[in-house]
Structure 1
């Protein structure tokens, strides 16, 4: 479809994401767009492969360069009538949100997208509004980090100012651990191509279970869709190893939690879109860790769809085109995902996932043979595979995830440690190659 052009109104999508993570969202969006006569145009950094099936036109440009992305989007807008925009790729959310505001189409709003993307701004605005928040400080060096951590009180969490997937987020028990935690967070922050690059936040550690909530916004009204219970990796890092969504999760009926989320979105100025909020359930009540201006990653929207029957792609289409979405569950089951993560750094030779298992919804490799997988702090998202299972309740779902994960077959080779001063690299070969 690339290169096709007509005068239909256009839904402009910035960045497609990986096929394994996002095709299940793009397909229902395409159906809804076709039904109302909207063309779909994608601006993406890779030569299209699987995307051709869903888009009427694909513009290849370096979307990670603000000037290049803005020029490409403006060129589309000059010859097409852009009536809606979408973006679900964390590094692109800020630029896409600002473009939506400039084009006058529904979006998070200029203030809203800045409030989501900049964790320091999120903290400051939610604190000023009286919402339960940790003590925090934006720091520029180890000495300042030590000073602020002493003021805040240990233990603390050190994190990049604007990254996702818990990349570079480190727990520090005391001053002896703080310097190393700062170096790890700072190194991770250098990957961010945006204006918050090379920035680190030190904040008070809040103990308690961590959850995430995907919710829709229509003209500022917050509409929660589903709650995911997060499972994290080895201390002192916070990388996600899995999630579970229960359509009947009692937290959906927790008025305090939902009121805090609605108020946070109001304070941040978020208008239209879908957000992925991360919250710790502390003994002082819900503490909003961050509000991301996009759908959840880690296939959480797929878990939500499987457990509740809510179609996140359709909800995103509705809010992006100015419609109030229906977020009423159509079913009530439990769905979970388990990521395959090696015990130590390794070179992946082969990975085979099960085709059949009780309750298995999906399973796939997440890295190609020849990929070096490094655990934090030398690397992040060192995932070789995932399995998704559905069950009648959380106990059955957990048992099915255990059984399916045990069927993954792995062939690896040991590798030495990374060079001491080497910057960490995201895993190569993550399926979305351009050949």
Structure 2
């Protein structure tokens, strides 16, 4: 039997963490470190350690004690809050993993920006994170570095693009690009994500150079990374770096669009193996999240079964239940999402059309309560 990987924290089912867990469990036994494993994780687990990954020292000792009698192949997490714990454990066990300093910087947005500035990498502040993307020619070099005559005010505008990156020993490989449409301020929670195997920005030298320099500045190695950039007239600006699998079903989108399985790649990297990054598809995939338009109590949520018969429908799930309190989109977070649906197609236009069709199958009723944010 293959040696297990230790996973620090399962995440949330409504944050789309079941897909990567299922994929990893298909290739390696998984031992979950969690105070109380959620019921949805249990079919995928080979074992469980009762510890809180947010408590670095006691969790490290618990995993080391387990590893003394049960050889561990690797350590994984997809939570920023658990990065330093994972780094400490891998260092103590001599397993592939992030340097502790890198994990600490990636877990702290202020420290991350400071480190990137030292390497002369352009960044953009968290206050700009959800600005409405420009729907223009984002595959054109004009949006990624050719034009440098505009002022800093432009840096808060432009599309959000995340590079789904695999960092090997001496190679930084962009596997796919995820384009994100944020919701309204102030929360700006993601409304949808798109991945296209033939995204024009995959060949843009300014973006590729920015991603490569970011990975090297942070000493990333043997990891999957989600590097978020804002495209501005002054060039790409680094917004965030998550040196772990992304959430929001982005690994599913990448697999459906390109055939590359980021989850199993992450497991391979954590165990010192070489991942298979060969593209086998050339399509597009997108996910959309439904948020309430009214703050109150959910009284009705229904998805017409006909949605499942749409030829582009890939994954549809209701994520809340009647009786739940919900918050309207301007202030909503991921826990307020009512449903999500994934569509695939030959190109982004086909996916957009499918997302709109699928949205028509959802009916929602919310009994409003006074909006505490209105004051």
1:25 maps to which of 20, 27, 30 = 20
Cα distance change, pair 96–418 in 1 and its aligned pair in 2 (3 A) = farther
Is 1:365 matched with 2:326?
no
In 1, Cα distance between equivalents of 2:88 and 2:338: 35
Summarize the Cα distance change of 1:60–1:406 in structure 2 as closer, same or farther, 3 Å threshold: farther
* Alpha-carbon separation, structure 1, partners of 2:323 and 2:41: 25
Kept in 1: contact 2:131–2:156 (CA 8 A): no
Q: Partner of 1:13 in structure 2? A: 7
Structure 2: how far apart are the matches of 1:385 and 1:398? Answer: 17
Determine if contact 2:319/2:338 at 8 Å carries over to the other structure: yes
1:130-156 deviation digits (Å, cap 9, x = unpaired)? 22234x6xxxxxxxxxxxxxxxxxxxx
Partner residue in 2 for 1:324: 274
Trace 1:267-282 onto structure 2 (pairs within 5 A). 267-282=217-232
Q: Any idea what the Cα deviations from partners look like across 1:381-412, whole Å, max 9, x if unmatched? A: 22111111011111111000001012112232
Per-residue CA distance 1:294-338 (angstroms, 9 max, x = gap): 111111111111111111122111111112323221011111111
> How far apart, CA to CA, are the structure 1 residues paired with 2:34 and 2:170?
29
Specify whether residues 65 and 377 from structure 1 end up closer, same or farther in structure 2 by C-alpha distance, changes over 3 A only. farther
SS in 2 for 1:303: helix
Which residue in the other structure is 1:163 paired with?
Answer: none
The answer on whether the counterparts of 1:109 and 1:272 sit within 8 Å (CA) in structure 2 is: no
Coordinate RMSD, CA, aligned: 2.6
Q: Distance in 1 between matches of 2:342 and 2:311?
A: 11
Please give the alpha-carbon distance, in whole angstroms, between the structure 2 residues aligned to 1:399 and 1:419: 34
* CA distance 1:419–1:259, shift in 2 (3 Å): closer
- Superposed CA deviations along residues 77-124 of structure 1, whole A, max 9, x for unmatched, are 232222311111232233223322232211122122122211112211
Cα separation, 1, equivalents of 2:163 and 2:373 = 38
Alignment check: 8 A CA contact 1:127 1:133 kept: yes
Judge conservation of contact 1:345–1:415 (CA < 8 Å) in 2. yes
* Contact 1:338-1:401 at 8 Å conserved across structures: yes
1:416 aligns with 2:366: no
Would the alpha carbon gap of residues 332 and 256 (structure 1) be closer, same or farther in structure 2, given more than 3 Å must change?
same
The change in CA–CA distance for 1:375 and 1:64 in structure 2 (over 3 A counts) is: farther
What TM-score results when the alignment is normalised by the length of structure 1?
0.74
Q: Is the 8 A contact 1:350 1:369 kept in 2?
A: yes
Aligned to 1:74: 64
Structure 1, unpaired ranges of 5+: 1-5, 34-38, 137-156, 160-165, 172-202, 422-435
In structure 1, what is the Cα distance between the partners aligned to 2:207 and 2:329?
Answer: 32
Shift of 1:376: 6.7
Contact 1:274 1:294 (C-alpha < 8 Å) held by counterparts:
yes
Partner of 1:248: 198
Q: Secondary structure at the match of 2:221?
A: coil
